[in-house]
Chains A and B, each alone.
Chain A
């Protein structure tokens, strides 16, 4: 019997091959590392900082994509496991407000475009309309925010112990 690919899986596969995502890859802003449904592992470039990595990887869970926001956590690609908290991005108030290992045990980011976080903050659509997940833009609406945070002067490297 022929297996039918579910629509959410078709949609993320389509968007990861689409020009918007591809141009970001060629420009070096992000890179698809693997897609193992329902998870997409994508790394995002980070600027040079003392003891900082050249990129951070994230595991996106994409069930219900694109109508349902994805949820993402920092990921250790080599260990195939959640990134140790000490290795999470660190910096000023804007970066540390989003990369919070204390939030949901580090299983997601504290940002309005994240599915788990937005479900627990009914006030956020009014307070942070510019940061919400956009179904029309899909994964790009999440990735662009991660890229801008990591490539801002508010980012200083890894959190440390």
Chain B
């Protein structure tokens, strides 16, 4: 009886580089197999680099030959030296900071900001996160690690009203 081997597609983001790279892994892949796939894709894995899956709080470590429980078809794999991203959000005259996992989506940062600044949910819908000192308002599914520059492990946002499109 022929065994059908299935594969999962993963999308790799490398700290400081734009865009994502598509790769394939066998189902039930281990950290060892993931690292081998990254190396095959030309991505250097050394002691300074950590690998995060999706919005996982902690980088992958431990038994390198055990299947990665959270790896699934379509997973994002973040390759970075940052263990966390220190994220500051400014709102009106106030600001708060929090350390998020590198793969955290911008929507989760907004949700945290709304709660932290005690903003009414009805008002929250009409606000967006804008990168400090820019006009950029990244999409809500953007991962924090996609927004950092150079070797930085921190980000700054202004929570501002979402300007309605009109005349």
Give the interface of A toward B (CB within 8 A): 19-20, 22-23, 26-27, 29, 92-94, 97-98, 110-112, 121, 124, 127-131, 144-145, 147-148, 151-154
Contacts and interface: CB of A to CB of B under 8 A. Distances in A.
B55 to A, nearest CB: 12
Contacts of B163: 127-128
A94 B141 contact: no
B74 A23 contact: yes
18 contacts: A19-B11, A19-B20, A20-B19, A22-B11, A22-B22, A26-B9, A27-B74, A29-B141, A94-B125, A94-B126, A97-B165, A97-B166, A98-B165, A129-B135, A130-B130, A144-B139, A148-B139, A153-B125
Given A22-B9, A26-B73, 19 more contacts: A22-B11, A23-B22, A23-B74, A26-B9, A27-B141, A93-B164, A94-B164, A97-B165, A97-B166, A128-B163, A130-B137, A131-B165, A144-B139, A145-B139, A147-B139, A147-B141, A148-B140, A151-B140, A154-B125
Interface of chain B, helix or strand or loop or mixed? loop
A93 B166 CA distance: 10
B11 A23 contact: yes
B162 interface: yes
A152 B19 CA distance: 25
Interface residues of B, number: 26
A23 B165 contact: no
B125 A92 contact: yes
Contacts of A93: 126, 164
B78 interface: no
B94 interface: no
A19 B19 contact: yes
